[in-house]
Structure 1
């Protein structure tokens, strides 16, 4: 039996390794040609300390408290030289990928489908190259896609589930934008080069209610996250608020409604900012946030949208004195993610 370990480096790059049953993470990483930080490898120095974001594991008793205190262990810190997983795990590694002699994965793909949604967005579906291993990523992460005919790339979050032969992205249409212009003339079979996955915006393990806040094409990572939750048979309370500027910016609402049929405790609301809209909910996302979910702070909030929206939500929570149990957000510009934080 093998477990999959996701290593999230501080520069946003994620690499996945296989860890055999009974194998220590540090040994598995070296076997996968990734040099995680280490010095003694005996649980004495603490150099290999990382944070376990999710998963089950055993640390044994062969380390000293100077290397890992009891309080640190309770907070999820681990020594990779002692950590033996008993499930798939996600680790935050406090160094860059380059310092561990690894880097971004390269993914070759071809265009399978391009579906425009008026002047608002495009759904781009890609097929990985024949014989290639489907890319692994954490739901919510993104990749860089090279724009053919240029040296530039653009960053887009996956809107599909991980480890599939086809990948999907929801891309905002930008007048005269580099990728938008290419998509307007692209056809099935055209080749694209991707690098990734990247990003610290991804679904964590938790038993608390989930509040998802999406702005525009910031809906994309939530489609990936919801698909993963639906396949896992999640029964958590989940509420999504999807805010846009204009009526025509509301896309893939039928897919969101499909999740409401598959997830017993999932609800959603769409919000349009345009005063001229006849939409039943107008204004900003902050005007439609459920007070009952925020009241006690026992909620995990995930937020993805343009910088003004992210800043407005953060200000709203501060003003209300709400401190969610966890708060993960990603700002993006039309061309690339700007900042990810947790």
Structure 2
């Protein structure tokens, strides 16, 4: 038996390793040529300390309290030289990936499909090469090199981890480099090079109700999250508010309806900002965020959208005195790397 361990470095790079049954995370990482910080490897110095965000493991008792105190252990801190996983785990490593002699992974594939879903949304599907292993945490993004240039653009996965065909929702930006390629010259079998996965915006272990706030193509990471919840099951309430500028910008509603059927605890609300819209709910996501969705603060909030939307939600929370149990958000803008934040 083996387990998949996600190592999230402080520079946003994620690397995934396989840990054998009974093997420590440190040994597994070194076996796969990732040099996690260490001095003693005996639980004495504390150099290999990290934070386990989710997963089950055994730490044993062969380490000194000077290396890992009871208070730190209660907070989820671990010593990777002593940590023996008994499930898949996600570990925050408090150093840059370059200091561990590793770097962001590279994937290659070919265009499988390009579909314009609306005036401002394009779906790109990429068939990965046979030897490519697409492992990521739902919500993370990858950098795609624009064919014919040295430039890259960052896009969140809308597909599920492990799929051989990766998919993305891409905003159609007038005169945008990637948009111009996709709408003008892209054709099936075009070769693509991608680097990643990256980002700290991803679905954590579901322990309480979830509120998902999506703006435009910020819907993409939530589709990935919902596909994982559909696969693994979820017994917590999950509600999404999906906001767009115009009626015809609403996309993937058939998929959301499908999730509502397969995930009994999932529901969603759509909102259109255009005042001339005939949509039953007009305005912004903050206008339709009922207090019942916040479960008196016992809720994990995930937010992905353009900067003005993210800023408006943050302001709304402050003004209303709303403090969720955890708050994870990601801003995106054309030609910029997504900026992720976590507010616990």
TM-score (norm 2): 0.97
Aligned to 1:245: 245
Aligned to 1:154: 153
Q: Do 1:143 and 1:196's aligned partners in 2 also have CA atoms closer than 8 Å? A: yes
Residue 295 (structure 1) shift: 4.7
Residue 118 (structure 1) shift: 3.0
Does 2:214 align with 1:188?
A: no
Map 1:27-176 to 2 at 5 A: 27-129=27-129, 131-176=130-175
Give runs of ≥4 in structure 1 deviating > 4 Å: none
Q: What secondary structure, in the 3-state scheme, does the structure 1 residue paired with 2:267 have? A: strand
Map 1:324-339 to 2 at 5 A: 324-339=324-339
Q: What is the rounded CA distance, in whole Å, between the counterparts of 1:36 and 1:79 in structure 2? A: 11
Q: What is the rounded CA distance, in whole Å, between the counterparts of 2:325 and 2:58 in structure 1? A: 25
Aligned to 1:270: 270
* Deviations 1:203-254, CA, capped at 9 Å, x for gaps: 0013100000001000000000000000112121000000111112111111
Q: What secondary structure, in the 3-state scheme, does the structure 1 residue paired with 2:297 have? A: coil
Aligned to 2:320: 320
Q: What is the rounded CA distance, in whole Å, between the counterparts of 2:256 and 2:108 in structure 1? A: 29
Q: Do 2:206 and 2:236's aligned partners in 1 also have CA atoms closer than 8 Å? A: no
RMSD: 0.9
Aligned to 2:232: 232
Residue 338 (structure 1) shift: 3.6
Q: What is the rounded CA distance, in whole Å, between the counterparts of 2:273 and 2:62 in structure 1? A: 58
Residue 67 (structure 1) shift: 1.0
Q: What secondary structure, in the 3-state scheme, does the structure 2 residue paired with 1:35 have? A: coil
Q: What secondary structure, in the 3-state scheme, does the structure 1 residue paired with 2:179 have? A: helix
Q: Do 1:295 and 1:322's aligned partners in 2 also have CA atoms closer than 8 Å? A: no
Aligned to 1:260: 260
Aligned pair count reads 341
Q: Do 2:126 and 2:165's aligned partners in 1 also have CA atoms closer than 8 Å? A: yes
Q: What is the rounded CA distance, in whole Å, between the counterparts of 1:303 and 1:66 in structure 2? A: 39
Alignment gaps of 5+ in structure 2: none
Q: Do 2:239 and 2:293's aligned partners in 1 also have CA atoms closer than 8 Å? A: no
Q: Do 1:156 and 1:336's aligned partners in 2 also have CA atoms closer than 8 Å? A: no
Aligned to 1:177: 176
Aligned to 1:213: 213
Q: What is the rounded CA distance, in whole Å, between the counterparts of 2:176 and 2:187 in structure 1? A: 18
Q: What is the rounded CA distance, in whole Å, between the counterparts of 2:255 and 2:336 in structure 1? A: 24
Q: Do 2:210 and 2:237's aligned partners in 1 also have CA atoms closer than 8 Å? A: yes
Q: Do 1:330 and 1:337's aligned partners in 2 also have CA atoms closer than 8 Å? A: no
Residue 334 (structure 1) shift: 2.2
Aligned to 1:198: 198
Q: What is the rounded CA distance, in whole Å, between the counterparts of 1:290 and 1:144 in structure 2? A: 36
* Deviations 1:22-65, CA, capped at 9 Å, x for gaps: 00000100001000011111111111111101100011101111
Q: What secondary structure, in the 3-state scheme, does the structure 1 residue paired with 2:12 have? A: coil
